[in-house]
């Protein structure tokens, strides 16, 4: 076990009970304040630790980091140093924050400058994302959608259990949590109409997803094996892949999602490292039929991460779904192996989303499409109103955390408010 993951570790920085950011987590992000430009930081309790300051004061001496590595508006340079080097930084941060380490704890002046209260920072996109891929890896989600739109008897298409289905998405419209999202407009064909109309989407939906971020550049023509995949993955985020179901149903044939998906996706600002998730590995669902050899893997490659979706309306929040990342049929190693098996290269900062993560029960579906069964069974919210899909002014927030032995590795906030179409 990594020293930094020891459940017994305590920090001298106060970490409130139930915080997503105990000393065992230490996720990386990019923040700015009124008086500082955007730089790299680590979350601890209700504080952000300024990595530029620590670097400049020599706290990372001996790790061999390039100058200015944290003084950048994206983490790409840092994560591009690779899993090992980034892991050394996380271990060093853990050491500096341990209750039995005096280096920073007893240096009052340095402490004051290095720790910034979260309410004084603004979180930015942590990564400049060169490429974005969206998988479709939850069997329950694919079954629900196939049942609704095609044939309940053959809900999964013949390829689904043989390969992790995915499409290439749009990176430019991925925004950080807190950024408002405008309702998209587009072509919609009402079921009884002969020709499409142009209209704001009437079926705006969220998709409960997680994404992983790669930390290597590979050569075109080369492949990453399932066994080597994790070496190329820095960490994970929460991801709401907003979808306009009415635009989607008209446009997606024959090439797949386009304008129904590329108007916005919301991502959480803190990247939780795979290192921090080490203790939460679990076995994935049994894969039957047997997969081709390049998709075989050893060990536990799924993660037990509790997920939750809440809709906020008129000042009241309603939890509408509780799911778990462990339900994913295809794990992240298989996804990356499949993605590169044809020689497709990966880049530092690429985002690979899981696809909507639905669980087995009705309360665990990861989209309104499934929760209301395409609007047929509206959901009652805490303010007394009903929802078939997401309305203007609603906020949708995702939560995610892995928890055991009193340690909670949380993902922070992934929230956005819907603005009316222009
Ligand atoms: Ca999606």
153 and 110 in a common domain = no
330 and 388 in a common domain = yes
pLDDT digits (tens, 9 = 90+) for 123-161: 999 999 999 999 999 999 999 999 998 899 999 999 999
Average pLDDT over residues 276-290: 97
pLDDT digits (tens, 9 = 90+) for 374-406: 999 999 999 999 999 999 999 999 999 999 999
165 and 50 in a common domain = no
What's the confidence (pLDDT) of residue 149? 87
- Find out whether 355 and 182 touch, Cβ atoms under 8 Å: no
CA neighbor of 183 nearest in space, from 390, 44, 412, 338: 390
Distance, CA 190 to ligand 1 centroid (Å)?
23
Give the chain's mean pLDDT: 97
230 and 325 in a common domain = yes
Distance, CA 118 to ligand 1 centroid (Å)?
30
CA distances to 2, 38, 266, 371 from 418, in Å: 41, 26, 11, 19
What's the confidence (pLDDT) of residue 92? 98
Count up the domains in the chain and report the number. 2
In the sheet that holds 122-124, the strands lie side by side as: 115-117, 47-50, 39-44, 28-32, 122-124
pTM (global) more than 0.75: yes
78 and 211 in a common domain = no
State the CATH number of the domain containing residue 138: 3.90.850.10
What's the confidence (pLDDT) of residue 1? 87
107 and 142 in a common domain = no
Distance, CA 78 to ligand 1 centroid (Å)?
28
Distance, CA 383 to ligand 1 centroid (Å)?
28
Distance, CA 73 to ligand 1 centroid (Å)?
27
120 and 138 in a common domain = no
161 and 74 in a common domain = no
Question: Measured over all CA atoms, what is the biggest interatomic distance in the chain, rounded to whole angstroms?
Answer: 74
* Cα–Cα dist 323/147, whole Å: 20
User: What percent of the chain lies above the pLDDT cut of 70?
Assistant: 100
* Cα–Cα dist 402/307, whole Å: 9
Distance, CA 40 to ligand 1 centroid (Å)?
28
Give catalytic status of residue 168 as yes or no: no
CA neighbor of 178 nearest in space, from 130, 132, 125, 128: 125
262 and 206 in a common domain = yes
108 and 205 in a common domain = no
Domain boundary among 91, 107, 124: 124
Distance, CA 243 to ligand 1 centroid (Å)?
8
| DSSP letters for 140-196 | HHHHHHHHHHT-GGG-S-TTTTTS--EEE--STTEEETT--EEPPEEEE--TT-SS-
Which residue has 């295809």 as its token pair? 330
pLDDT at position 326 over 90: yes
Distance, CA 121 to ligand 1 centroid (Å)?
30
64 and 17 in a common domain = yes
Domain boundary among 77, 95, 124: 124
**Alpha-carbon dihedral angle through residues 250, 172, 125, 276, given to the nearest 10 degrees:** 70
* Cα–Cα dist 91/270, whole Å: 17
CA distances to 58, 146, 157, 185 from 150, in Å: 61, 5, 10, 25
Distance, CA 318 to ligand 1 centroid (Å)?
22
What's the confidence (pLDDT) of residue 355? 98
258 and 157 in a common domain = yes
Q: Which member of 141, 162, 168, 338 is catalytic?
A: 141
Other Cβ atoms closer than 10 A to 287: 17
Query: What own/partner pairs with CB < 8 Å and gap ≥ 24 does 362-366 have?
Result: 363/321, 363/322, 364/140, 364/321, 364/322, 364/323, 364/324, 364/327, 365/140, 365/141, 365/144, 365/321, 365/323, 366/138, 366/141, 366/207, 366/208, 366/209, 366/307, 366/309, 366/321, 366/323
Average pLDDT over residues 269-276: 98
Distance, CA 166 to ligand 1 centroid (Å)?
9
Average pLDDT over residues 18-46: 97
pLDDT at position 74 over 90: yes
Domain boundary among 89, 124, 159: 124
Structural domain of residue 85, as residue ranges? 3-124
State the CATH number of the domain containing residue 65: 2.30.30.230
């Amino acid at each position: 076990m990594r020293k930094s993951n020891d459940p017994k570790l305590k920090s001298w920085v106060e970490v409130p009970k139930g915080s997503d950011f105990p000393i065992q987590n230490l996720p990386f992000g990019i923040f700015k304040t009124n008086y500082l430009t955007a730089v790299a930081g680590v979350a601890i309790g209700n504080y952000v630790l300024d990595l530029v300051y620590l670097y400049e004061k020599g706290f990372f001496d001996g790790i061999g980091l390039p100058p200015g590595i944290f003084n950048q508006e994206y983490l790409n340079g840092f994560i591009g140093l690779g899993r090992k080097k980034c892991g050394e930084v996380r271990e060093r941060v853990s050491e500096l924050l341990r209750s039995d380490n005096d280096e920073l704890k007893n240096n009052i002046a340095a402490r004051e400058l290095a720790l910034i209260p979260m309410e004084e920072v603004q979180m930015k996109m942590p990564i400049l994302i060169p490429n974005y891929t969206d998988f479709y890896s939850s069997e329950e989600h694919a079954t629900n959608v196939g049942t609704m739109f095609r044939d309940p008897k053959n809900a999964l298409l013949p390829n689904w259990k043989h390969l992790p289905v995915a499409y290439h998405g749009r990176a430019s419209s991925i925004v950080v949590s807190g950024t408002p999202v405008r309702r998209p407009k587009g072509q919609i064909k009402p079921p009884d109409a002969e020709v499409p109309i142009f209209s704001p989407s009437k079926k705006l939906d969220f998709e409960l997803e997680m994404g992983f971020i790669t930390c290597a550049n590979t050569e075109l023509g080369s492949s990453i094996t399932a066994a080597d995949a994790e070496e190329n993955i820095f960490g994970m985020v929460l991801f709401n892949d907003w979808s306009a179901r009415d635009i989607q149903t008209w446009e997606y044939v024959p090439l797949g999602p386009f304008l129904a998906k590329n108007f916005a996706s919301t991502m959480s600002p803190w990247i939780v490292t795979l290192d921090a998730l080490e203790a939460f590995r679990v076995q994935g669902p049994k894969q039957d039929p047997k997969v081709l050899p390049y998709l075989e893997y050893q060990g536990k490659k799924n993660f037990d991460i509790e997920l939750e979706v809440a809709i906020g309306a008129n000042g009241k929040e309603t939890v509408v779904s509780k799911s778990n990342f462990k339900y994913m049929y295809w794990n992240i190693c298989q996804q990356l192996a499949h993605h590169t098996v044809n020689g497709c290269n990966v880049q530092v900062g690429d985002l690979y989303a899981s696809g909507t993560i639905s669980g087995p029960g009705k309360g665990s579906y990861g989209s309104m499409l499934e929760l209301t069964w395409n609007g047929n069974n509206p959901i009652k919210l805490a303010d007394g109103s009903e929802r078939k899909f997401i309305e203007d002014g609603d906020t949708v927030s995702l939560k995610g955390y892995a928890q055991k032995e009193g340690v909670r590795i949380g993902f922070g906030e992934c929230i956005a408010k819907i603005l009316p179409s222009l």
